[in-house]
Amino acid sequence: MTLHGETILVTGVAGFIGMHCAQALLAQDARVVGIDSLNAYYDQALKQARLARLTPHPAFRFEKLDLTDGAALAKLFARTQPTRVLHLAAQAGVRYSIDQPGDYTASNLLGFANILQGCRVARVVHLAYASSSSVYGGNARLPFSERDAVDHPISYYAATKKANEAMAHSYAHLYGLPCTGLRFFTAYGPWGRPDMAYFKFARAILAGETIDVYGEGKPVRDYTCIDDIVEGVLRVLAKPATPAPAFDPRAPSACTSSAPWRVFNIGGGAPVVLLRFIETLEAALGKPARKRLLPAQPGDMSATAADTSALQAWIGFVPATPLREGLQRFADWYREFYKT
């Protein structure tokens, strides 16, 4: 199913995943209303460059808007009448949440509450929103399954994402709003976020600087190429959440409900030790890294790995881009964009 002719509201459209998803929606002949606050969390020039790839398209409309402004958001919903909403805007970053938790309360909690209310009033067909693999927190059983409890977040960022899933469930139950949460596992690729480790590594390696490798390079991550993220997101967006026919309230599932509510992992499916990841990036950049091994930082998870069987059963797709291929695309883009 494509989203041809529909009006899709994409929040965080100047972000990494937001820009790529908007491009893919436009390629399906959907109309995209994109909003973004263009905050200064990282390089605004990169955000503007992403927007510049979207604004020439006649079916794209951009409005600068902060999700914490509920009145302005309500007016936007009334003007644009979106059929579906893809909510990707959030204050991102595990480590930043340790120092600036207030930013996460505002954007990830109040902002999400305003999105839910806007969707309810506009009677959208489906709300798909970004959650995170961080919700698994202190869980050490791998791979992470949506059936696992997520009761032990180890960062405030993760706590806000867990809260989003609970908030969405309440709206699904009370108002019949179909909501699907997508737990992304370490997205990477061209046009990525400068605060992500791989992006910082690339900059430092090409500049001949030493990279800080936390956890002494031992953490394991399930890296997911942006192309796979986008494919999964659009397929999920096109298939609204439904109540689970076999849901048993006496033994409730952690990932389904009697309400139209679902959560899914979107992960690459091939977890890699950090040092091995750096080796692959070195090969893609054609230059070795100078490494400084450091202890793990507060809030960092020791390992992530995604069980994507539920995603495959729901939409018939799982990420499969090899890390070497995805990192080469990123490296080529980085060299071209930054002229290095």
CA distance 133 to 130: 10
In this structure, what token pair is assigned to residue 225? 């190429």
Least Cα distance to 267 among 141, 133, 140 occurs for 133
Q: Which domains does the chain have, with CATH numbers?
A: 7-185+226-266+307-320 (3.40.50.720)
Q: Hey, which residues are catalytic here?
A: 157
Q: What is the pLDDT of residue 74?
A: 98
| Single-letter amino acid code for the residue at 93 | G
Question: How many helices (H) does the chain have, and how many strands (E)?
Answer: 12, 13
| Single-letter amino acid code for the residue at 2 | T
Q: What is the pLDDT of residue 93?
A: 74
Q: What is the pLDDT of residue 294?
A: 94
CA distance 330 to 308: 24
Instruction: For the chain, list residues with pLDDT below 70.
Output: 1
Q: What is the pLDDT of residue 298?
A: 81
Kindly state the DSSP code that residue 110 receives in the 8-state scheme.
I
**What DSSP string describes 188-255?**
ESTT--TTSHHHHHHHHHHHTPEEEEEGGG--EE--EEHHHHHHHHHHHHTS-----TT--TTS--SS
| Single-letter amino acid code for the residue at 271 | P
Q: What is the pLDDT of residue 43?
A: 84
